[in-house]
């Protein structure tokens, strides 16, 4: 399995990280994409990938933080892209649920990160909450048609999923799909083709149902794979194999 989105170098996970990595290996996780969201997590991520080459990095300031941290961090991520220390740009996007950063500032940095991805031929990892119309509109103008991208931790509607799939994007599902009240999201999983699906933990957030209340980690990824397998009526091994192939194609090949 490949965990396509985990914040390994967030402060919450740095303590005890080596033991967590060992648990991930024993759980069958063969690659992890570490998501860096600021210069410090990026510095730690570069060191981590040097020590564990099967862990690689993506980077961008989240839409929550662009108003306060965006300018300084953008320069760091642009430098990392130039130096080939990133395999993707993200998570970037729009979040109108909390709107910790003004909408116009979020949109400005989304455009800048899209341009960065195009400049260095890197895929994009999107974060989107209650902002799909604006996301699709901006990306359609600023990002080449069918260019590689994934909507991480997808929790949108069936219509929003269809729009993303039509653009050739992947949809990534997290532990949310296992939650008791996520019936609508499980209905979305039913029609998303395995050829456009990824799985992720989003660690340290969103531990799956059996681990609710605990700090999430990549070793919990099998529970997500099993849940999707049950929804699809296939084996967990098939889910693991298909999503790993997709993540490899998107990020690592």
What does DSSP say about strands 88-95 and 55-59: parallel, antiparallel, or unpaired?
parallel
39 has pLDDT over 80: yes
| Per-residue model confidence as pLDDT tens digits over 195-237 | 999 999 999 999 999 999 999 999 999 999 999 999 999 999 9
Q: State the pLDDT at residue 174.
A: 98
Are 191 and 173 spatial neighbours (Cβ–Cβ below 8 Å)? Answer: no
Q: State the pLDDT at residue 252.
A: 87
Partnered with residue 56 across adjacent β-strands are: 33
What CATH number should be reported for the domain holding residue 117? 3.20.20.140
What domain count does the chain have? 1
Tell me the pLDDT band of 253, cut-offs 50, 70 and 90. confident
Picking from 60, 84, 73, 51, the residue whose alpha carbon sits closest to that of residue 5 is 60
- Give the domain range for residue 142: 2-252
What's the token pair of residue 190? Answer: 């039913």
Could you give the angle at the alpha carbon of 242 between the alpha carbons of 194 and 18, nearest 5°?
Answer: 125
Cα 28 to Cα 39: distance, rounded to the nearest angstrom: 30
| Per-residue model confidence as pLDDT tens digits over 88-137 | 999 999 999 988 999 999 999 999 999 999 999 999 999 999 999 999 99
């Amino acid at each position: 399995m490949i965990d396509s989105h985990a914040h390994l170098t967030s402060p919450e996970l740095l303590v005890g990280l080596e033991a967590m990595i060992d648990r991930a290996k024993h759980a069958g996780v063969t690659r992890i994409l570490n998501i860096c969201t600021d210069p410090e997590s990026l510095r730690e991520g570069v060191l981590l990938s040097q020590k564990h080459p099967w862990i690689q990095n993506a980077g961008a300031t989240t839409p929550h933080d662009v108003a306060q941290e965006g300018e300084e961090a953008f320069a760091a991520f642009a430098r990392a892209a130039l130096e080939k220390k990133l395999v993707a740009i993200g998570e970037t996007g729009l979040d109108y649920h909390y709107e910790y950063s003004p909408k116009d500032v979020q949109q400005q940095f989304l455009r800048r990160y899209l341009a960065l991805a195009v400049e260095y031929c890197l895929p994009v990892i999107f974060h989107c909450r209650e902002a799909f119309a604006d996301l699709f509109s901006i990306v359609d103008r600023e990002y080449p048609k069918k260019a590689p991208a994934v909507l991480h931790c997808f929790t949108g509607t069936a219509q929003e999923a269809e729009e993303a799939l039509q653009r050739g994007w992947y949809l990534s599902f997290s532990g949310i799909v296992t939650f008791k009240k996520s019936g609508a999201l499980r209905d979305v999983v039913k029609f998303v083709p395995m050829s456009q699906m990824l799985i992720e933990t989003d660690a340290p957030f969103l531990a799956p149902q059996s681990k609710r209340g605990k700090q999430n980690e990549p070793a919990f990824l099998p529970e997500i794979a099993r849940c999707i397998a049950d929804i699809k009526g296939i084996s967990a091994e098939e889910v693991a194999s298909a999503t790993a192939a997709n993540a490899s194609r998107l990020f690592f090949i």
